[in-house]
Structures are given as structure tokens and as C-alpha cells.
């Protein structure tokens, strides 16, 4: 247990000039501390593997820091389940998930891309010239699997306003009872000022903000991941105009095959996640 506890400490906290432990680092520290007289790498591996402890690995993580994280997240999860403030949504109420994908470059390759051949994958030239960058703004209708998008030179209140207008002036949103827009806390639509501004323009629009650091709860990010895989990777475009055209053409293509995303993360899952994040580690290094 002491060996496992040591493996669960940050080396810097122990006064070691390391960012993370390797297996050899741990072997050296264990013997120097006198926790065991002798231990093999295979034995250490087996002990750590019993509890899936892998101190040599790491992953990037965004920790919730919104004091109202759970309250805000629950509102969004309820909308995905077709409910608002405990009541089911009507047939004339819609849920839109919106965001911006920024700094999409046009990388003009210095040699033309070669298509795949038998026993040879596609070849994309490593060197390129920068052909500029644009922002792609998109709104995803959660229930209808319909996507609206536009390319802009930059993000901001005005470009986002054009996206909102693009959606809200169309049927059925124009005459809907309520249209809920789920957005993050980006500067284009941040805070109560954005709520007031958009509702003055469209009385049936309800802006719903995600918690800070919770873009993973925004369904449009799933669509953006599809765009990244199918449109922007590899990035090989002759011009910025070609990037914009490909993005808009893909919208039309995707709508022909799109289905509502099968969203499985619910209130119950959120409660379990919050409880886990609030629970301190069970293992502590013995003095």
C-alpha cells in the first residue's frame, strides 16, 4: 500500500525534480526510502496494475470551476431530454446548440496531394504556404438534426448575430413559441447582456449558457468533430475561398445522412461525476 501511495503522489510534492514517475524512477525511490529491500520491475508493474495505477501517463483535463456548474449543466441536459423547468417541451419549441470554430487555415501545399494507390496511402506534402484563416459558425438543431452555418472572417457579437438571424428568420423558428439556444461563455454571446440583446431582437429566443469549462456538453461540438475529421483533415486547400465552399457544401451533404445525436449523458451521470470530482483520493502516503 505504501508503494501504491507513493506512485499516486506528484514527484514535485516529494521534492523530486520530475514531472511524473517512470517505472525506473519509482524503483529507485522505493528502495531509497527503504519501503522494500529489493523489488523487480515486473513485481512493481504487477502491484500497480492491480489498481490500474499508471503514473507515467497523463491527460489534459479541464476542472469545473463554475460555482453553479451542476445547476447550469442540469438545465442543458434537461433540454436534451425535451424538458425545461420540469415541464416537457411542446411541438412548437426547439433546442439549438451553437458555437464557433475559430482560426481554420487554408494550407496551400507546395506539391499536389497524391491520391491513394494499391499498397500506398494518400500522400500530402509536409510544407505549405498559409492562405489565411476564417471562422466557421454553426447552429445544430438537436431534435431535427438540421445544421445552419456560415463562414466569417472573425468571430464576435456581429458575426454571431448574423448566425442567429439566419436561423430565427426561417420556419419553424420564426413562429415558434420558444427557441432555446445553448451556447458557451465566449465573448460573442457572454452573460446577461447577450441574453437581453438577443431577446430584444427575437422575443421567442431563450439563451442558455453552459457552465464555464463545459463545452463538452454542447452537442454542436460533436458536429465540429465530424467536420474536423471529414473536411479539414488533411488540410489541403488552394485558397481560403475553397475552405469556405467545402464547409458549406459539407453542410448540405451531412444533412442528407444526419440523425439526432444519441446523447446518453443524463442528470444521473452528472451527479455521479460531480460526486467523484468532489471525493478526495482514498490513498494517502503514510508518514
Q: Do 79 and 44 fall within a single domain? A: no
pLDDT tens per residue across all 287 residues of the chain:
999 999 999 999 999 999 999 999 999 999 999 999 889 999 999 999 999 999 999 998 777 788 889 999 999 999 999 999 999 999 999 999 999 999 999 999 999 999 999 999 999 999 999 999 999 999 999 999 999 999 999 999 999 999 999 999 999 999 999 999 999 999 999 999 999 999 999 999 999 999 998 999 999 999 999 999 999 999 999 999 999 999 999 999 999 999 999 999 998 999 888 888 777 665 544 44
Q: Do 132 and 35 fall within a single domain? A: no
Residue 95 lies in a domain: yes
Q: Do 152 and 190 fall within a single domain? A: yes
Provide the domain count of the chain. 2
State pTM to two decimals.
0.85
Q: Do 231 and 149 fall within a single domain? A: yes
Q: Do 227 and 258 fall within a single domain? A: yes
Distance, CA of 218 to CA of 263 (rounded, Å): 11
For residue 103, give the CATH number of its domain.
3.30.420.10
Nine-digit cell string for 199: 431577446
Task: Mark 236-254 as b/e (b = at least 16 C-beta within 10 Å).
Answer: bbeebeebbeebeebbeeb
Q: Do 26 and 105 fall within a single domain? A: no
Q: Do 110 and 210 fall within a single domain? A: yes
Distance, CA of 164 to CA of 148 (rounded, Å): 9
Q: Do 87 and 171 fall within a single domain? A: yes
List all residues 6 or more positions away from 215 whose beta carbon is below 8 Å from its beta carbon: 99, 184, 221
Residue 273 lies in a domain: no
Residue 261 lies in a domain: yes
Residue 157 lies in a domain: yes
Amino acid at each position: 500500500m505504501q508503494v501504491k501511495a507513493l506512485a499516486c503522489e506528484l514527484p514535485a510534492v516529494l521534492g523530486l525534480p520530475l514531472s511524473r514517475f517512470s517505472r525506473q524512477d519509482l524503483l529507485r525511490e522505493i528502495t531509497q526510502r527503504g519501503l522494500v529491500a529489493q523489488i523487480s520491475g515486473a513485481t512493481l508493474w504487477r502491484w500497480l496494475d492491480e489498481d490500474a495505477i499508471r503514473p507515467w501517463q497523463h491527460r489534459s483535463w479541464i476542472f469545473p470551476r463554475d460555482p453553479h456548474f451542476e445547476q447550469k449543466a442540469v438545465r442543458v441536459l434537461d433540454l436534451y431530454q425535451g424538458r425545461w423547468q420540469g415541464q416537457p417541451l411542446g411541438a412548437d419549441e426547439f433546442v439549438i446548440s451553437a458555437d464557433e470554430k475559430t482560426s481554420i487555415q487554408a494550407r496551400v501545399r507546395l506539391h499536389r496531394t497524391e491520391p491513394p494507390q494499391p499498397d500506398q496511402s494518400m500522400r500530402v506534402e509536409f510544407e505549405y504556404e498559409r492562405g489565411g484563416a476564417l471562422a466557421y459558425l454553426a447552429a445544430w438543431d438537436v431534435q431535427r438534426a438540421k445544421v445552419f452555418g456560415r463562414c466569417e472572417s472573425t468571430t464576435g457579437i456581429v458575426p454571431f448575430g448574423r448566425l442567429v438571424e439566419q436561423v430565427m428568420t426561417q420556419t419553424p423558428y420564426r413562429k415558434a413559441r420558444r427557441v432555446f439556444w445553448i451556447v458557451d461563455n465566449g465573448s460573442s454571446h457572454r452573460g446577461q447582456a447577450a441574453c437581453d440583446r438577443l431577446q430584444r431582437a427575437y422575443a421567442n429566443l431563450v439563451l442558455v449558457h453552459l457552465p464555464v469549462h463545459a463545452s463538452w456538453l454542447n452537442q454542436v461540438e460533436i458536429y465540429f468533430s465530424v467536420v474536423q475529421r471529414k473536411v479539414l483533415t488533411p488540410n489541403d486547400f488552394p485558397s481560403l475561398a475553397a475552405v469556405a465552399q467545402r464547409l458549406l457544401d459539407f453542410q448540405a451533404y451531412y444533412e442528407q445522412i444526419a440523425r439526432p445525436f444519441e446523447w446518453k449523458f443524463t442528470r444521473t451521470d452528472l451527479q455521479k461525476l460531480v460526486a467523484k470530482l468532489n471525493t478526495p483520493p482514498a490513498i494517502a502516503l503514510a508518514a
